[in-house]
Amino acid sequence: MTTTSKQLPTVGVIGLGAMGQGMAGSLRRAAYPLRVCDVRHGAAQAFAQEGGVACATPAELARGADIVVSVVVNAEQTEAVLFGEHGAAAAMAPGALFVMCSTVDPHASVALERRLNDLGLLYLDAPISGGAAKAASGQMTMMTAGRPEAYARAGGVLEAMAAKVYRLGDQAGNGSKVKIINQLLAGVHIAAAAEAMALGLREGVDAAALYEVITHSAGNSWMFENRMEHVLRGDYTPLSAVDIFVKDLGLVLDTARASKFPLPLSATAHQMFMQASTAGYGREDDAAVIKIFPGIALPPAP
């Protein structure tokens, strides 16, 4: 029997940034009844013009949603979405599901699960990866952990948003742990890519030629190929900003510090992003970490 849209749960997406907008679009294509909310109310209204309901607050969204998907930046914003003024938690119906897609301290995710379960609500620890393009095409990755009841409540919603949905445990925490390990690699790779390109520029190598050779050689990485293209274009429009890696590598180091585990490469990359942020590049694309290197002429903006 074919499932119709009337039988599908209503999903609310809070946060229509680079990732959230694409995820909401994937849900709309999959015919889920959809509600959206963003601090920029105009963004929600613009999205809803092609389908869905724009809501002014998380509480308004939650009152009509069976599943609430939160795609905000950090733990503080997640706290505000749930428990701030006009927060979603008090408006969610008993048994409703909250899907937390932010990169946060794993302990914070564990605490959120406990608080929501105490309110009779379900919770999934579900950080995401893949970038805006993969989010828009439904091809991103979700790293999830939660109770079996939460997965049962989610139904096909996760698969509608992501090509890969990894189930990493029956309670919150492991999804966030795996995500920060991914961010360790992503941040170190971006920093290393910037360092390599900066050295090439310093030594007078043509930037486009260097990019062509490296992307067809053993030294290539997905981050080099993706982020150094931004450098070649001179386009630092933020898809993932420098300050995101100040935060995320900080979470990596905090987690390792708790168990006295050394992470020398992560610490160096974190300092590089901190230096870029302090120099005024915090809201630029994370490829702007290359701007900390002296004595190089970067490709100009178009």
DSSP annotation string for 143-176: EEEE-HHHHHHHTTHHHHHEEEEEE--SSTTHHH
Q: Would you say residue 2 has pLDDT above 70?
A: no
The C-alpha atoms of residue 293 and residue 194 are separated, in whole angstroms, by 9
pLDDT at 6: 55
Average pLDDT of the residues in 254-277: 97
Tell me how far the alpha carbon of residue 276 is from its chain's centroid: 21
**Helix axes 222-233 and 174-202, enclosed angle (nearest 10):** 50
Phi, psi torsion values for 121, nearest 5 degrees: -110, 155
291 is an active site residue: no
CA dist 112 and 115 (Å) reads 5
Domain boundaries, the chain: 7-172, 177-292
| pLDDT of 169 above 80 | yes
CA distances to 22, 81, 162, 164 from 134, rounded to whole Å, are: 8, 25, 8, 11
Q: With a cut of 90, say whether residue 302 has pLDDT above it.
A: no
Mean pLDDT within 156-163: 98
Percent of the chain with pLDDT strictly greater than 70: 98
Is this structure's pTM higher than 0.95? Answer: no
Residue 60 pLDDT grade (very low, low, confident, very high; cuts 50, 70, 90): very high
- Residue 224 has what pLDDT? 98
Q: Which amino acid, 149?
A: E
pLDDT interval class at 7 (50, 70, 90): confident
pLDDT at 5 over 50: no
Type of residue numbered 258: A
Domains 7-172 and 177-292 share a fold: no
CATH superfamily of 7-172: NAD(P)-binding Rossmann-like Domain (3.40.50.720)
Catalytic one among 177, 179, 247, 291? 179
* CATH class label, 177-292: mainly alpha
Q: Mean pLDDT across the chain, nearest whole number? A: 96
The string of pLDDT tens digits covering residues 142-151 is 999 999 999 9
52-57 long-range CB contacts below 8 Å, 24 or more apart?
Answer: 52/24, 52/28, 55/12, 57/86
pLDDT tens-place string over residues 89-144:
999 999 999 999 999 999 999 999 999 999 999 999 999 999 888 999 999 999 99
pLDDT at 222 exceeding the cut of 90: yes
At residue 4 the predicted structure's pLDDT band, cuts being 50, 70 and 90, is very low
pLDDT score of 3: 42
Is the confidence at residue 1, as pLDDT, over 50?
no
pLDDT bracket for residue 154 (50, 70, 90): very high
In single-letter form, the type of residue at position 261 comes to F
